[in-house]
Structure 1
């Protein structure tokens, strides 16, 4: 089952996550959900060393570093 919005997996106080948010804004990304992995054992195990990670509606995941073109490809925007 897919989420109703793309998801950006991130951490609190993460400078790379801040950079990813700027790339999403530059790409004109539609609404997306921010999921912070810090207090979730399962998400920490899956994404801990990979954040930020952008997950599109089709389930594809884009690991950092990514650029505007890559974001648009995953989000089709």
Structure 2
């Protein structure tokens, strides 16, 4: 697994009790061990996020604003991350 050249920070739009979000977090564990930072964003903290992400979560977002929506697996995540740095 190759990390992007610079340190990468991701946002994971999530909500309490979202089992798909837990699966997405699990897929990110190897990347976090390699230095990828993950910010968990609770969509219920902002009504706009509920409207935008409520039926789409989990959604990953990089610092450029590019998004990867569920469903994704480890290969799709690796490809997206390789394009994110």
Task: State TM-score, norm by structure 1.
Answer: 0.81
Q: 1:70 aligns with which of 61, 66, 76?
A: 76
Q: Cα RMSD between the aligned structures?
A: 1.8
Q: 1:22 aligns with which of 23, 26, 31?
A: 26
In the alignment, is the contact (CA less than 8 A) between 1:12 and 1:38 conserved in 2? no
Identify unmatched segments of 5+ residues in structure 1: none
Return the index of the structure with the highest Cα Rg. 2
CA distance in 1, matches of 2:29, 2:75: 12
